[in-house]
């Protein structure tokens, strides 16, 4: 049983974290736009309607399957640390918000590059719904209203001015307008993204950031570009599962699947203590390896493919403990010779997009750049301040990102497009989705709605109340310290997924844990 039906269509399907974004994507597909046109339109709407989760002051990652070339391309739209910053710039640790914890925004450049590479209708059409909602306003969703309640106290004066023209933050159903943001998006349409990355708009942005005490300079904006790295992939049950390469932590999911590939998750009942225990311990290993080795490959020697090597994976598989581990050490490599929104989109021509965008924490840095409508991210806090870490803060370096997206192909044909927001929950929930969809053959909506677990550290294991009493008891007997987190816990993410069958029928699902919405035509 699920709370909503699986959505099926043959012409196109859009699954996002917001119904207005889904509607914008469907409208673009109906006009003959590609999956990328629809994805950028939907993502841009989310930057307006979900400022607590994303914004053009944040970052974007995507996997794009091009039906013409039958290849998957990765996009890394994340920004670097300002070049004026060093690790010792924060002797007392990071502040809880403000302009100093922002990296260079990468979302706008990624929007433009995606459209240039795979779009049909142009950036102006893609941004039109977002501009309309920013200018004319939109009804505040329950989730955004809750975000204002939870985080309103940390938002700066400019946020209060823009979000609270009534003298308070808006409640569910009240109209919110963001005219400064609308004007910023219009400038991008009129003059291209170069207006922000080195042009007049960027100069005004950088001057305003400096006046606030931040470090992003015009030169930092001018130096930014979207990376198009080769995606990483592992074989799994006859499919090839693609993920985001570093600086994304997408390799964590792929290492989890590589370890699980030599096991048989079907031998355990779904939701059983044995299956949950096995997956949690695999997760711990992959996260330990991330912490030990992962960093910006532009500045750190990190060959991610070594985490998928047969001998390394076999050793990790043999090390899965029978009881819950308190601390998991990184595997020995052979010597060298928060808040987010996710969407999945497919079109009638066979193109597919798996896209995620974020400002990191709820409302990012809780700081809006005056007269631009741009909320700053707080992604700089993703750096380690430990000089020995491969993820240590350095000028012009990008932090390791929780953001990652997933796509699975059978041969050269897409079969699954899925992902979730949720910081460190992402690669855990995606692991659960992959096993549910691939090993246990679930329909997408059921796989999304099944009870989830979430692990942070040690033996503590958060699980949703809907796990059976038997599973809870047996997990405790294996040494896990169980903490119940409600029936539908947002800490486990808010997934969207699309499956494509052999007849070309799309099946889409969206997560009731947030405000997910899937639609097709």
The answer to whether 39 and 25 have CB atoms below 8 angstroms apart is yes
Sign of the C-alpha dihedral computed for residues 282, 288, 289 and 295 taken in this order: positive
Bond from prior residue into 247 cis (ω within 30 degrees of 0): yes
* Identified catalytic residue from 49, 340, 405, 492: 340
Helix locations, 121-170, DSSP H: 123-136, 142-151, 157-163
> φ, ψ for residue 176 (rounded to 5)?
-120, 125
> Which pLDDT score is estimated for 328?
87
The answer to whether 340 and 16 have CB atoms below 8 angstroms apart is no
Question: Residues with Cβ < 8 Å from 281, sequence gap 6 or more?
Answer: 320, 321, 324, 325, 328
> Which pLDDT score is estimated for 422?
83
Q: pLDDT averaged over the chain?
A: 95
The pair of three-digit structure tokens given for residue 11, joined into one six-digit string: 């012409």
Q: Of all residues in the chain, what percent carry a pLDDT higher than 70?
A: 98
> Which pLDDT score is estimated for 337?
38
Q: How does pLDDT run across 332-373, given as a tens digit for each residue?
A: 665 433 568 999 999 999 999 999 999 999 999 999 999 999
Sign of the C-alpha dihedral computed for residues 320, 441, 410 and 519 taken in this order: negative
> Which pLDDT score is estimated for 159?
97
Question: Residues with Cβ < 8 Å from 24, sequence gap 6 or more?
Answer: 38, 41, 42, 44, 45, 129, 130
The pair of three-digit structure tokens given for residue 206, joined into one six-digit string: 């950088």
Q: How does pLDDT run across 105-152, given as a tens digit for each residue?
A: 999 999 999 999 999 999 999 999 999 999 999 999 999 999 999 999
Selection from 45, 362, 53, 43 nearest residue 178 by Cα: 45
The answer to whether 100 and 213 have CB atoms below 8 angstroms apart is yes
> Which pLDDT score is estimated for 429?
97
Q: What is the pTM of this model?
A: 0.95
pLDDT at position 191 over 80: yes
The pair of three-digit structure tokens given for residue 512, joined into one six-digit string: 């009731």
Q: Which CATH architecture fits 1-249+294-301+336-452+489-521?
A: 4-Layer Sandwich (3.60)
> Which pLDDT score is estimated for 330?
81
The answer to whether 356 and 421 have CB atoms below 8 angstroms apart is yes
- Domain-wise residue ranges, the chain: 1-249+294-301+336-452+489-521
pLDDT at position 89 over 70: yes
> Which pLDDT score is estimated for 464?
98
Selection from 488, 461, 458, 491 nearest residue 475 by Cα: 461
> Which pLDDT score is estimated for 294?
86
The pair of three-digit structure tokens given for residue 103, joined into one six-digit string: 């990296």
> Which pLDDT score is estimated for 335?
45
Task: Report the pLDDT averaged over residues 94-98.
Answer: 94
In the residue annotation, 340 being an active-site residue is answered as: yes
């Amino acid at each position: 049983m699920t709370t909503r039906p699986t959505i099926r269509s043959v012409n196109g399907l859009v699954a996002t974290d917001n119904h207005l974004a889904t509607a914008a994507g469907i409208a673009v597909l109906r006009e003959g736009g590609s999956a990328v046109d629809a994805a950028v339109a939907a993502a841009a709407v989310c930057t307006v309607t979900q400022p607590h989760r994303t914004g053009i002051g944040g970052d974007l990652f995507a996997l794009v399957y091009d039906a013409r070339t039958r290849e998957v391309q990765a996009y890394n739209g994340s920004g670097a640390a300002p070049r004026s910053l060093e690790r010792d710039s924060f002797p007392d640790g990071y502040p809880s918000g403000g302009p100093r914890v922002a990296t260079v925004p990468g979302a706008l450049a990624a929007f433009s590059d995606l459209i240039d590479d795979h779009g049909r209708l142009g950036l102006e059409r893609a941004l039109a719904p977002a501009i309309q909602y920013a200018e004319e306003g939109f009804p505040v969703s329950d989730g955004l209203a809750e975000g204002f309640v939870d985080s309103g106290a940390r938002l700066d004066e400019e946020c209060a001015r823009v979000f609270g023209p009534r003298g308070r933050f808006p409640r569910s159903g009240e109209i919110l307008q963001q005219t400064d943001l609308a004007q910023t998006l219009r400038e991008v349409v009129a003059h291209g993204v170069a207006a922000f990355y080195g042009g007049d708009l960027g100069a005004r942005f950088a001057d305003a950031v400096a006046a606030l005490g931040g470090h992003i300079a015009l030169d930092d904006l001018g130096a930014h570009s979207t990376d198009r790295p080769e995606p990483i992939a592992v074989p799994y049950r006859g499919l090839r599962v693609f993920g985001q390469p570093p600086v994304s932590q997408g390799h964590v999911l792929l290492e989890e699947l590589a370890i699980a590939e030599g096991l048989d998750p079907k031998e355990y009942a779904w939701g059983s203590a044995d299956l949950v225990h096995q997956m949690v311990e695999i997760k711990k290993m992959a996260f330990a390896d991330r912490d030990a080795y992962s960093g910006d490959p532009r500045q750190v020697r990190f060959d991610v493919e070594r985490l998928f090597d047969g001998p390394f994976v076999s050793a990790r598989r043999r090390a899965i403990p029978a009881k819950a581990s308190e601390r998991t050490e990184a595997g020995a490599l052979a010597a060298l010779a928060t808040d987010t929104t996710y969407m999945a989109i497919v079109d009638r021509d066979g193109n597919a997009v798996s896209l995620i965008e974020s400002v990191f924490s709820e409302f990012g840095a809780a700081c809006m750049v005056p007269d631009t409508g741009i909320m700053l991210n707080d992604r700089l806090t993703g750096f380690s301040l430990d000089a020995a870490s491969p993820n240590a803060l350095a000028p012009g370096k990008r932090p390791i990102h929780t953001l990652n997206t997933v796509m699975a192909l059978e041969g050269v044909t897409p079969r699954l497009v899925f992902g979730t927001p949720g910081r460190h929950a992402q690669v855990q929930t995606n692991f659960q989705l992959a096993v549910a969809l691939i090993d246990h053959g679930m329909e997408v909506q059921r796989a999304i709605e099944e009870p989830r677990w979430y692990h942070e550290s040690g033996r503590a294991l958060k699980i949703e109340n809907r796990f059976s009493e038997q599973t809870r008891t047996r997990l405790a007997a294996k040494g896990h310290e169980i903490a119940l987190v409600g029936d539908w816990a947002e800490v486990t993410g808010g997934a969207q997924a699309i499956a494509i069958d052999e007849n070309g029928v799309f099946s889409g699902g969206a997560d009731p844990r947030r405000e997910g919405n899937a639609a097709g035509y």
